[in-house]
Amino acid sequence: MKNKIFAVLFLFATVMFSTAQKLNFKDKNFEKAAIENYDINKDGFIDGKEALQVSNLFLVKKGITSADDLVFFSQVKMVVLDDNSISTISLKNLDALQLFSCTNCRISTFRAENLKNLVSVYVNNNFINNIFLKGLPRIDQLAISLNQLKAIDVSDLRNLKKLNLEHNQLQKLDISRNYNLKTLNIGGNKMKETAIHKGSQTDLIIFGAAQ
């Protein structure tokens, strides 16, 4: 019995120690900004326990070049990284994440997968030419205007209601599986409405289709 109690106490102490350890950030500007805003105990670094308490992460115009350190903030619900310089973003397995924004960040590749509570994504005004979206069952708003997309697959986004693809390089689009889509903005793509595969949708409003 004593051995069992000791084992439980040891496990508890190990967990407490691990969450209190200093996190090793890949991006030092990300770390600096996080310390400025989320260092609760003011000890000069972010530990695992502090990272787990962050629900809204606002790091705008901080000189950040990598979003990889988001992995430490597994309970975050809202992430805003606008006006940084991050060429590649890969978001996955952040179960609490509901909103992600990284506008004007010079992104070329954007991946979002296995984000079960993600509702809104804003990645306007970047250089995105490669995008992968999978395992996003709740997303209802996707804004990717002012990028360099030549193709995009949104077939997995069954709950999508608003899609903004203004000013890309698209020539065709398949939204036949986006049964809940209500508004689509495709202005600036030189794409006619006849190049959009709509399926059986009847109440969809399309803005900006070429004549």
For the residues 12-31, what does the mean pLDDT come to? 73
Per residue in 63-102, pLDDT tens? 999 999 999 999 999 999 999 999 999 999 999 999 999 9
Per DSSP bridges, beta strands 196-197 and 173-174 are parallel
Per residue in 1-18, pLDDT tens? 544 444 433 433 333 444
Residues contacting residue 195 through CB under 8 Å, at least 6 positions apart: 171, 172, 173
Report the chain's C-alpha Rg in angstroms: 21
Does residue 195 belong to any structural domain of this protein? yes
Residue where one domain finishes, among candidates 60, 94, 127: 127
Residues contacting residue 183 through CB under 8 Å, at least 6 positions apart: 161, 162, 163, 204, 205, 206, 207
Q: Identify the DSSP state of 192.
A: B
pTM: 0.89
Per residue in 160-184, pLDDT tens? 999 999 999 999 999 999 999 999 9
Does residue 13 belong to any structural domain of this protein? no
Q: Are residues 87 and 158 in the same domain?
A: no
Does residue 54 belong to any structural domain of this protein? yes
Q: Using an 8 Å Cβ cutoff, are 69 and 31 in contact?
A: yes
Q: Using an 8 Å Cβ cutoff, are 156 and 198 in contact?
A: no
If one compares 131 and 15, the residue with the highest pLDDT of the two is 131
In three-state secondary structure terms, 5 is: helix
Q: Are residues 94 and 160 in the same domain?
A: no
DSSP bridge partners of 122: 101, 143
Range of the domain at 67: 24-39+47-107+120-127
Does residue 167 belong to any structural domain of this protein? yes
Counting the structural domains of the chain, the total is 2
Q: Identify the DSSP state of 62.
A: S
Q: Using an 8 Å Cβ cutoff, are 168 and 144 in contact?
A: yes
CATH number at residue 77: 3.80.10.10
